[in-house]
Amino acid sequence: MDNLSEQIKSLRNEYSDLDLLLEDLSKNPIQQFRKWLDEAIETKIYEPNAMVLATSNNEMPRSRYVLFKNIIEDKIIFHTHYESPKALEIFSNPNVSGIFYWAEIHRQVRFQGIAKKASSKISDEYFASRPRGGQLSAWASYQSRLISSRDDVTKKIDELNEKYKNQEIPRPDFWGGFEIDIQYWEFWQGRRNRTHDRFCYTQNNSGWDIERMSP
- Catalytic (active site) residue 34: no
Is the four-CA dihedral 9, 15, 17, 20 of positive or negative sign? negative
What does 102-146 look like in DSSP terms, one character per residue? EGGGTEEEEEEEEEEEPPHHHHHHHHHHS-HHHHHHHHH--TT--
Q: State the Rg of the chain over Cα.
A: 20
Phi, psi of 31 (to 5 degrees): -65, -40
64 DSSP β-pair partners: 53
Neighbours of 180 (CB within 10 A): 25
Marked catalytic residue, from 34, 130, 171, 194? 194
Catalytic residues: 194
